[in-house]
Structure 1
Amino acid sequence: MNETSETHRIAIAGVGAVAEMHALSIADVDGATLVAGSCRTASKGREFATEHDCDWYEDTETMLEESAPDVLIVCTPSGAHLEPTLAAADHGIDVLCEKPLEITTERIDRMMEAADEADITLGGVFQQRFKPLFQRVHDAAAADRFGSLSVANAYVPWWREDDYYDGAWQGTRELDGGGALMNQSIHGIDATQWLAGATMDLEPDENPVEEVIAYTDRLAHDDSLMEVEDTAVAICRYRDGTLGQFLGATSMYPGSLRRIQLAGREGTAEVLEDELVTWRFRDERDEDEELRERFGDESDSSGGAADPMAIDYSNHRRNVEAFLEACSSNDPYPLDATEARKAVAIIEAIYESAETGEPVRLE
C-alpha cells in the first residue's frame, strides 16, 4: 500500500470504464477512501457502488452535498468535465480531472478561473507522465543529455472497431471534442511535449510547441458512426527550433504500440509503449546499461492499441497518489491545470490547421 499524509475522502463523477482504474487506484493508497460515485444510469451506479463499497448518487451535485468529499475525480465524458468541476469549486472541493481537462481551451480557462476563485487544487490526469521509464527520459532531457534536440515525435497507430463508436459519446464533437487526437493520441502528444519541454527554458504557462501544420480525415469508419477524425498527421516546430511529427489514428488495423522518440546531437531515446527500444548517448554512463536492462524487455501490454481497457492501473495510481500528496502538503501538483491545458492547445491548433490548410501558431 502507498501512503499519503492524511485521509482523503474521494468521490468520482461518472462511473464508466476509466472510473474503475481510479477506484482500484484509490484502494491501493493508504489514507484514501472512495466514498461515492455518481451516474445517471441506476443499474450501472448500483453495480459500481456494490463492487467498490461506496454510495451511489444519480446527481453529482447531490453527491457533493451529501457525501462531503474533499476530492472529486472527474471521469465523465470529455466534453462534460466543466460542470462537475464548477460544482466542486462551489463546494471548496479539490478536483482531479481525467484527460482531456476539457475539449476546448476556453472551457479549461473557465475551470481554472473557478478553481482560482475557490482556492482549490485543480489537476489533470496524464498517467503516462508517471511511468518510471518516462520519468527517466524526462530526467535525461532536463539534464541536457540529448544536447540540442533535433526531433520529438509521437506515433499512435491504433485501431477501434465500429462498435466502439456505435451509439457512444466517443467520436462526437459535443462530448469527445475530436477523435483519434483528442481522445486516444492526447496521451502521446502530452508526453512528447512534456519531455521536449524539459530541454527548454520556458515560463510555466508557455507551450513548448510553437507552430503546427496538419491534415485530419475520417478514413476507416463510416460517417454514420463518428463525426470526427480517425486519422491525423501533423508536423510541428517547437520553440527552440526542434522539429516534430504527430500521428494519431484509430484507423490502422489491428493497432500497433505507441512510439515516442526524442533525439538530438548527443543522444536518442525511443520508447515503444513500455519498452525502451533505444537509449544511446555520446557520453555513455554506467547507469545507462542498467536502464537498458531494466526497461529493454519487449512490452507485454498492448497499451490500448485495439482495446481501450487493455492497460493496468499502476500509472493511474501514481497519478492519483501524486495529486493527493500535493493536496496534503500544499505543494504544487506537477500536472496542474496549466500543464494539462497544453496538450489540448496543441490539438486545437492541429484541428485549426487541418480546417484552414495553413500553419497555426500557438500563443
Structure 2
Amino acid sequence: MTMPETYRTAIAGVGAVAEMHARSIADLDAATLVAGSCRTESTGREFASEHDCSWYADTEGMLDDADPDVLIICTPSGAHLEPTLAAAERGIDVLCEKPLEITTERIDRMIDAAESADIALGGVFQQRFTDVFQTVHDAADEGRFGTLSVANAYVPWWREDEYYADAWQGTEDLDGGGALMNQSIHGIDAMQWLASAAMDLDRDENPVEEVVAYTALRGHDDEYVEVEDTAVAALRYRNGAVGQVLGATSMYPGSLRRVQLGGRDGTAEVREDELVTWEFRDERDADAEIRETFSEQGGASGGAADPMDIDYADHRRNLAAFLGSLDSDDPYALDATEARKAVAIIEAIYESADAGEPVRLS
C-alpha cells in the first residue's frame, strides 16, 4: 500500500488564524511546516521561532526559496488573489482561508489561474467538518427533511471598537464588507451547503435564487468601520423555499451562531456545536442517540465576542481533507467553485441593500 505523501507546507500571512493552521500541520503526519511570510519582521520571526520554520518578508520569495508543495493563504481577505496567482505560476497547490476572495470576479480569476496551472485550489470553512454539521448534512443527503421549506442563518455577534482600530477588518478594500463578509460567512456557507444537499442540487448550482436585504452601521462609529456591522436579508431558494440571514457585530455581548433547516418531514437547528432541534416524521432508532450526543454546547463561544475563542481541531480536519484529496482521485468537497457560493450570496445581499430592490443570483 502506498503511504500518503508528507506535504511541505508554507503559510502566507502569519497572523492569528495562521496559528490554527500551524497547530493543525504539527498534528498531521501528512504535512510539515517549512515557512511563513509576513511583512512585519518581529511577528514573522516570532512565528518562525515558535513553529520551527523559516520566515520571509515576501511571499513570492518564500515560494521560490522554500519550494513548498502547498501554500495556505491567511492574508487579509482582499489579498488572497495575488498569492494564489503566484502559487499557480509555480505549480503549488493552494488552500485559502475564508472568504476565498472579497468579490466573485476576483475568485473567478483565482479559479482560472488554478485550472490553467492544473493545481488544486480549495477553501476553508472549518465549521463543515464538525460532527454536528456532518450529521445534519448526512440527513439532508438522505432526504430526511422532505420538501425543503426554510433554511436560515443567524450570527448575532459583538466586536469591540478595539477589534477594528488600526486593523484591516471593517475596511472596504481588504475586508470587502463587514459583519456578513467576515463573521457571518461561516453561517451562510453552512446554510447554503445544507440547503443544497436537501434540494439535491448539482455541485455547480448556488441554492439561493434571489435576495432582498438591508445593511446598517449601528454598533460602531464610522471612524472604526467603513462597512456594515448589521445586516438582514430574506432569501428565496431555487426550489421555492425561503430563508433569513442575520449578520451582526453590533449586538452586545454577542450570542451563539444558529443555523436552521426545515421541511415537510423534519427540522434541525444547530446552535454553535449544539443540536437544539432534531425531529423527523420518520423517527429512527439512532435519533435519540444523536440528540443526546449533541445536546450540550462545548466551552468555546465560537467567536461570538472573541474572534479567537475557537478550537483548531476543525481547521485540522479541514486541512486533512484537502491533503487527502491530493493523495487520491477523490475531489475535495470544498473546492473553489463550492467556496465561491457563500461570497456570491453575500455579494447579492450587498447589491440589494445598495439598490433597495431584490437581486437575483446568476
- Classify the TM-score, shorter chain: over 0.9
The alignment partner of 1:213 has SS state of strand
Q: Aligned residue for 2:155?
A: 156
Contact 2:158 2:249 in 1 (8 A): yes
Comparing 143-152 with 229-238, greater Cα deviation is found at: 143-152
Deviation, structure 1 residue 91 = 0.4
Give 2:270's aligned amino acid. Answer: V
Q: Which residue does the alignment assign to 1:179?
A: 178
Question: What's 1:232 paired with?
Answer: 231
CA shift, 1:297, in A, is: 1.2
Matched, 1:94 2:93: yes
Displacement of 1:314 = 0.6
In the alignment, what sits opposite 1:140?
139
Q: Alpha-carbon deviations, 1:156-215, whole Å to 9, x = none?
A: 000000000011000000000000000000000000000010022323221000000000
- Residue 297 of structure 2: aligned partner: 298
Q: Residue in 1 aligned with 2:218?
A: 219
Where 2:209 maps in the other structure, the secondary structure is: strand
Say whether 1:79 aligns with 2:50.
no
Aligned mates of 1:330, 1:57 — CA distance in 2:
33
Q: Are the equivalent residues in 2 in contact too, given 1:38–1:63 (CA < 8 A)?
A: yes
Taking the aligned partners of 1:328 and 1:42, their CA distance within structure 2 comes to 35
Distance 1:175 1:186 in 2: 15
Deviation by residue 1:283-332 (Cα, 9 ceiling, x = unmatched): 11010011111111133221100000000101100000000001111421
Q: Are positions 1:345 and 2:344 aligned together?
A: yes
Structure 1 residue 34 and structure 2 residue 33: aligned?
yes
Using the alignment, how far apart are the partners of 2:73 and 2:322 within structure 1? Answer: 13
Which residue in the other structure is 1:362 paired with? 361
Task: Work out whether residues 148 and 199 of structure 2, in 8 Å CA contact, stay in contact via their aligned partners in 1.
Answer: no
Helix, strand or coil for the counterpart of 2:14? coil
Letter in 2 for 1:88: A
Q: Match for residue 17 of structure 2?
A: 18
CA distances 1:17-54 after superposition (whole Å, capped 9, x unpaired): 00000000011111210000000000000000000000
CA distance in 1, matches of 2:30, 2:208: 38
Q: Which residue of 2 aligns with 1:124?
A: 123
- Give yes or no for contact 1:274–1:301 (8 Å, CA) kept in 2: no
Task: State the distance in 2 between where 1:66 and 1:357 align.
Answer: 50
**Separation (CA, whole Å) in 2 of partners of 1:137 and 1:315:** 16
Aligned to 1:196: 195
Contact 2:30–2:323, Cα closer than 8 Å, also in 1? no
Paired residue for 2:333?
Answer: 334
Match of 1:52 in 2: 51
TM-superposed CA distance for 1:100, in Å, is 0.2
Deviations 1:97-146 (A, max 9, x none): 00000000000000000000000000000001111110110010111101
What is the CA distance between 1:150 and its match in structure 2?
1.1
The SS at the match of 1:212 is strand
Report the Cα distance in structure 1 between the residues aligned to 2:327 and 2:244, rounded to whole angstroms: 39
Answer whether contact 1:112 1:122 (CA < 8 A) is retained.
Answer: yes
**Secondary structure of the equivalent of 1:141?**
helix
Count matched residues. Answer: 361
TM-score, scaled relative to structure 1: 0.98
The residue correspondences of 1:266-305 to structure 2 (distance < 5 A) are 266-305=265-304
Of stretches 326-335 and 66-75 in structure 1, the one that deviates more from structure 2 is 326-335
**Contact 1:350 / 1:360 at 8 angstroms: preserved in 2?**
yes
TM-score by length of 2: 0.99
In 2, Cα distance between the equivalents of 1:46 and 1:96?
23
Q: Tell me how large the CA RMSD over aligned residues is.
A: 1.0
Q: Distance in 2 between matches of 1:173 and 1:298?
A: 34
Q: Deviations over 1:200-245 (max 9, x none)?
A: 2323221000000000010110001110000000000010111100
- Cα distance in 1 between the residues matched to 2:297 and 2:107: 38
CA distance in 2: counterparts of 1:310 and 1:181, whole angstroms: 19
| Structure 1 residue runs without a partner (length 5+) | none
Task: Using the TM superposition, give the Cα deviation of residue 5 of structure 1 relative to its aligned residue in structure 2, in angstroms.
Answer: 1.2
Q: 1:259 and 1:204 mapped to 2: Cα distance?
A: 24
* Fraction of identical pairs, as percent: 76
User: Where do 4+ consecutive residues of structure 1 move more than 4 Å?
Assistant: none
Residues 272 and 297 in structure 2, CA contact (< 8 A), matched pair in contact too: no
